[in-house]
Amino acid sequence: MGKNNKGLNKKRIEELFGGSSDDILNIISRQENENISIDKGKIIEIEINKITPNPYQPRKIFKEEEIVELANSIEKNGLINPIVVKKDEDKYILISGERRLRAFEYLGKETIPARILEIDDKGLFLLSIVENLQRVDLTDIEKGESFKKLKEKFKLKDEEIANLIGISRASVTNYIRLTKLPDYIKKDLLEKKVSMGQIKPIITLSEKEMESIYSQIVKKNLTAREVENLVRNIKNKGKKIKNIEDNTFLNEIKNKIENNYPEIKKLKLEKTKKGLKISFIISEDDISKIFKDLDKNEE
């Protein structure tokens, strides 16, 4: 988890957080490392019935078997890391440790060790989003919803979110695009019945085309590549694209460019005697952003 934090833009976190980012980074680092103890702040016992859920929690699914496993571990070894909360009048808002809290509830405990963190609502929102985005088990749709919230609440551009989290701008754009999918597809993504790779090629299709291909994805368990080929056939229907339709390799190149760089418009690939001819339309700002993404990947 500590390695993941190297991707976080500490300066940008401090700008949005409105102060030192030490607490935010420490909590993120501790989230999955039960061997790191709380290093500052008074720990107190808090009544569980006085703790309210975090309104900015991106995670929607908590697997019962994981909660039971954690509860058994806590029963045997005790709670190594207290949860982190924010004081809210006579109650507390949960900031970090929902799985631990659920485990205590499963065990029938009435109180739980907690550390109170002084943080405003803006900081609480940012902490909740960034912390969960560092988790490997967050679903693609949950990531998309989180990026969308960051974009709307803080008026951030995709590139700024990418710099903040430490991923490519194209990835941020694609995750956000998932939030525009029909509810039945988002539900399956949330439950991990389908993957982002399978769904990404159909995002730009019409509702009717999307529904048709999605039914095939579910029934035939199509791979991402098979879905891309289906989508390519639909987009090329009625068009004469010389030397591309029957060339799987060229189709794969075209699909990858379109999926990773949605800013590129009217992309065409054509075989010539001298090699492969590629043409497309893109703004100067977007091409600059793409080069920045490529430079980041090389680093």
**pLDDT beneath 70: ranges in the chain:** 1-41, 58-61, 122, 130-137, 237-248, 295-299
Global pTM value: 0.54
pLDDT in tens, 18-64: 444 444 445 444 433 333 233 345 788 999 999 998 877 766 667 78
- What integer pLDDT is reported at residue 286 of this predicted model? 80
Is residue 158 helix, strand or coil? Answer: helix
Q: Give the model's pLDDT for residue 141.
A: 85
Structure tokens, 96: 């970090």
Question: In whole angstroms, how far apart are CA 30 and each of 27, 65, 68, 118, 299?
Answer: 5, 22, 20, 18, 26
Dihedral, 216, 219, 223, 226 alpha carbons, nearest 10 = -30
According to the model, what pLDDT value does residue 269 have?
A: 78
The closest of 178, 184, 169, 183 to 204, measured between CA atoms, is 178
pLDDT at res. 167: 82
pLDDT of residue 71: 92
pLDDT of residue 250: 74
Report the b/e string of 173-182 with b at 16+ CB within 10 A.
bbbbbbeebe
| CATH architecture assignment, domain 2-133 | Alpha-Beta Complex (3.90)
What does pLDDT average to over the chain? 77
